[in-house]
Amino acid sequence: MRIPPLESLPPTKTLELENGLSLVPRVKLELTVHPTPSSVAKQIDEWKLKRALAEFLKNSLSVPIEVPEEDLEFRRFKDLKKRKREDPVAHGTLSIRDLGFLNRKRRGDEDKEEDAKEVENKFTEWRKYIVEKLDGIELNLEGDQFKLSVAVPASDDFQGMKKSWEEASAFGNRGFSRGGRQEPDTIVVRGLPSRWFAEPRVSSKPSMLVTHTIFSAFGKIRNLSVVEDDQDKAADGIGGGDIISGLHCKIVVQFEKHTDFCNTLRILCGRSLQKQGSRLKADYDVTWSKEGFFQNARNQAVEKSSRMPATLGGHHRNELRNRVEPYISRFNSEDTRRKRFKE
């Protein structure tokens, strides 16, 4: 599959990947609902809250937005009776996927080639406008007033992440550098459906080979790790967030070039992963690794190996060392050509 130049891909375009996957653009916002001083309700009706916000999006913006029910979600916090009066009562997310209007050209510019940077600026400004319009509004739910706080998730803020690694570099943090170069090269993606990275008709667990095939479209890979990710998203006190073990995976990928790292992170920010033939849109979490993930993995393996009793024979000692050694991919182009998926 031919991948378009990543540096010229605007944030409003879909990127097709291997294995029937695609990265679909969207604007995602985190929503927090607080009671106002005049509110007397101890419980909040999520359906009424969704309806009130949907009406605001449809009637109060420069470009009316109609959001499908599945793209607007609210969940109540647990133990509301134990919370202080000013504490939030609900938390949610809003996903806006219809961004085609940002690609429209001005009258008289129809024949001009689309400038990716210009579209990216329009995207950023429009997202900022939406946040400013929604943040602080009061929603009336049959007499009870609730105040809405809105923010862009850190996982969608590429410029914020770029600023953080530039600051880390300026202060001499070499935890992510290689060979004295203070440039990050490792991306961590969590919350991806495991079955989308599995070998068809072989296993439901994520496959190193399939994952490498998909991510190699972004650039040459130095190291790769893929494991099941059973992080409990209900740990923040929000109801209904339990995760069934094995459904999601965590992928850590280290690129050879800092440029490939930057382009990949920029494209992963502000998109959902979709599988051909599936209605599910996976909203993953993505960030850059500040800790030197693969170097730490090797150090931990060496440390565990050094703790083995000296009385063990050579054969058994080597066997135990192999058990604690983390598997880190070192694919190259020849490996990829030699291996084939099982039919």
Percent of the chain exceeding pLDDT 90 equals: 50
145 and 183 fall within a common domain: no
Which of 178-187, 195-204, 267-276 is predicted least confidently?
178-187
- What is the average per-residue pLDDT within 67-71? 92
Highest mean pLDDT out of 112-116, 123-127, 314-318 = 123-127
Structure token digits, residue 13? 């375009």
Q: Are residues 197 and 333 in the same domain?
A: yes
Q: In this model, does residue 330 exceed pLDDT 70?
A: no
Q: How does pLDDT run across 145-154, given as a tens digit for each residue?
A: 899 999 999 9
Residue 10, CA atoms < 13 Å, CB-side half-sphere:
19
User: Do 97 and 136 have their domain in common?
Assistant: yes
Q: Can you say whether the dihedral through the CA atoms of 129, 130, 134, 136 is positive or negative?
A: negative
Are 205 and 278 within one domain?
A: yes
Instruction: Find the angle CA(127)-CA(129)-CA(132) to the nearest 5 degrees.
Output: 110
Residue 160 lies in a domain: no
Is 140 in the same domain as 266? Answer: no
Asked whether residue 78 carries a pLDDT value surpassing 70, the answer given is yes
Shared-domain flag, residues 291 and 207: yes
**Residues of the domain holding 217:** 166-296+325-338
At 295 the pLDDT is 65
Q: Does residue 216 register a pLDDT over 50?
A: yes
The per-residue pLDDT for 268 is: 96
Confidence of residue 144 (pLDDT cuts 50, 70, 90): confident
Among 90-104, 224-238, 271-285, which stretch is predicted with the lowest mean pLDDT? 224-238
Instruction: For residues 263 and 185, state if they share a domain.
Output: yes
Domain boundary among 152, 181, 205: 152
265-276 pLDDT per residue, tens: 999 999 999 999
Higher pLDDT, 272 or 1: 272
State pLDDT tens for residues 4-57: 788 889 999 999 999 999 999 999 999 999 988 777 656 788 899 999 999 999
| CATH number of the domain to which 275 belongs | 3.30.70.330
Whole-angstrom distance, CA of residue 39 vs CA of residue 145:
5
Q: 177 and 48 in one domain?
A: no
Residue 20 lies in a domain: no
Q: Is residue 105 part of a domain?
A: yes
Residue 259 is predicted with a pLDDT of: 93
**Could you tell me which residue, 266 or 89, shows the higher pLDDT?**
266
- What pLDDT is recorded for position 109? 59
Tell me the pLDDT of the chain averaged across its residues.
Answer: 80
Mean pLDDT to the nearest integer, 276-292: 90
- Per-residue pLDDT, averaged over 319-324, amounts to 44
Q: How far apart are CA 339 and CA 335, in angstroms?
A: 6
Q: Is 261 exposed, middle or buried (0-12, 13-18, 19+ CB in 10 A)?
A: buried
For residue 159, pLDDT over 50 is answered with yes
Domain boundary among 122, 152, 182: 152
Confidence of residue 204 (pLDDT cuts 50, 70, 90): confident
pTM of the model: 0.79
- Say whether both 34 and 112 belong to one domain: yes
Domain total in the chain: 2
Structure tokens at 237: 């006190």
Q: What is the mean pLDDT of residues 176-197?
A: 79
pLDDT of residue 236: 45
pLDDT of residue 318 exceeding 50, the answer is: yes
**Is position 96 within any domain?**
yes
Whether 173 and 135 map to the same domain: the answer is no
Nearest to 96 by CA among 293, 322, 270: 270
